[in-house]
Amino acid sequence: MASASLKLPVIQNWSCHNCGGCCREHLIEITEDEKRRIENQGWTQKDGIPADRPVIQKIGPKRYRLTHKDNGACVFLNEEGLCRIHAKFGEPEKPLACQVYPYAFHPRGNRIATSLRFSCPSVVRNAGTALEEQQAGLQELCDQVVSGRQTQVVPPTVHAKAQLSWKDINRFIEALDVSMQDKSVNFTVRLLRTLEWMNLVEQAQFETVKGARLQDFLQLMLEASSKAQPDNDLPVLRPSFMSRMMFRQLAAQMARHDTDQLARGGIKTRVQLLETVLRFSSGAGQVPALREPTSVVTAFGALPNKVVAFSQLENAFQGRRPEIDELFERYMRVKIQGIHFCGVACHNLSVVDGFRTLVMMYPVTMWLARWRAARRGHTEVELLDVQAALATADHNFAYSPALGTGSAKNRIRQLAKMNQIAALCGWYSL
């Protein structure tokens, strides 16, 4: 079977730094073939595998996942943070999901786009080898994941009433990517400009606007939005009470961290989760204890046990630096180029709804970064706070089932209708 050619984000580097975070944070679902393969590997206590539980557990009809230990780690993770399957039998013997992380491959017409998960601290830090230099290995991995099915994937809709070909959807992707790169203005302005032209896209019919005409239309949108907001001089408007409540609910979902320990927590854990959601909705008093993923704590340091009030996070913070803009630009461009924000990769959202959902990662991450800085007793956000916040939130982006529900999708549409996405981006931009 011929390989689908792979499109790599040229702006990103990555190598594994063996932090073992993914083997603690992610619940690895495996296929029946992988289950048989692991069972045939004959793991016993002598290999360091816990004796008190099977290495694989059934989670539904014909659905299985790797078991975790009480400390949250996969049963195959050893004390040095390395995978026992990898060490004993080689990487190809691990479940495919383990081999693929932090990459994600998504069909984009006749090519496959590569995205990355920023829940991995090395991705957030852009640490490692340029992806371009890893082309051969990635192509091999991609062939296993996609396995010739790319032509069966239909393109995402542009909005509820507009279905275009992959060729035209790629024109949107390229226009969004260009819109994120205009370094003559700061990143907040770039986002607001793009939101503005996406609002116009939502109102347009595309029956006759295709091919070269669509290209001209997108070019016009880009130019008009630059003229409407030519510089960094943005009025900062306080978002409405209602939109801040909806925003905090989203922030609570993005900061959530579902692990095996939580899944086994029972009724007490569920009650605690409900209390957290209610407190985030009210936005009064103290921010409930948010537990950062182990990989984030390992990479960016543990936070002091300091109480933070919701009201503290509504004040502007210091610390706007070019490195923070660079991080967001890279994040958004990787997700856009990798078509990781709409269609099959993201809850079947249209391009417009998916882009708005992706944009909400900006105020959510900045809010979490403020919370992190406040926990350290600072009113200045550092790059490290933003990196840690992004690694936490991106764990859920496009993957958390809670964010794919009708009510979550409606929340984004409501915020857009009230013109509050732009207000939230401006308000929490620092």
Q: Which residues bind ligand SF4 (CB under 6 A)?
A: 23, 28, 66, 74, 76-77, 83, 85, 94-95, 98
Distance of closest approach, residue 14 Cβ to ligand SF4, in angstroms: 16
- The pair of three-digit structure tokens given for residue 146, joined into one six-digit string: 């996609």
Residues with Cβ within 8 Å of 126's Cβ and at least 6 positions away in sequence, in order, are 12, 13, 14, 330
> In terms of CB distance, is 261 or 348 closer to ligand SF4?
261
User: What CA–CA distance (Å, rounded) separates 201 from 169?
Assistant: 13
> In terms of CB distance, is 78 or 226 closer to ligand SF4?
78
393: nearest Cα among 323, 331, 307, 348: 331
Distance of closest approach, residue 28 Cβ to ligand SF4, in angstroms: 5
Q: Return the ∠ at Cα 194 (arms to 249 and 207), rounded to 5°.
A: 105
How many other CB atoms sit within 10 Å of the CB of residue 317?
20
How many other CB atoms sit within 10 Å of the CB of residue 7?
18
Distance of closest approach, residue 203 Cβ to ligand SF4, in angstroms: 46
Distance of closest approach, residue 347 Cβ to ligand SF4, in angstroms: 25
Q: Is 159 helix (H, G, I), strand (E, B) or coil?
A: strand
Taking the CA atoms of the chain, what radius of gyration do you get in angstroms? 22
22: nearest Cα among 334, 299, 401, 360: 299
The enclosing H or E element of 275 equals helix 266-282
In terms of DSSP bridges, do strands 29-30 and 63-66 run parallel, antiparallel, or are they unpaired? Answer: antiparallel
> In terms of CB distance, is 68 or 330 closer to ligand SF4?
68
Distance of closest approach, residue 286 Cβ to ligand SF4, in angstroms: 35
> In terms of CB distance, is 66 or 123 closer to ligand SF4?
66
Distance of closest approach, residue 79 Cβ to ligand SF4, in angstroms: 12
301: nearest Cα among 366, 384, 367: 384
> In terms of CB distance, is 23 or 422 closer to ligand SF4?
23
> In terms of CB distance, is 94 or 347 closer to ligand SF4?
94
Count of positions (residues) in the chain: 430
> In terms of CB distance, is 229 or 261 closer to ligand SF4?
261
353: nearest Cα among 363, 345, 343, 361: 343
The enclosing H or E element of 34 equals helix 32-40
User: What CA–CA distance (Å, rounded) separates 333 from 341?
Assistant: 11
Distance of closest approach, residue 298 Cβ to ligand SF4, in angstroms: 15
> In terms of CB distance, is 76 or 328 closer to ligand SF4?
76
> In terms of CB distance, is 76 or 280 closer to ligand SF4?
76
Residue with tokens 């290999």: 47
Distance of closest approach, residue 319 Cβ to ligand SF4, in angstroms: 35
Distance of closest approach, residue 94 Cβ to ligand SF4, in angstroms: 5
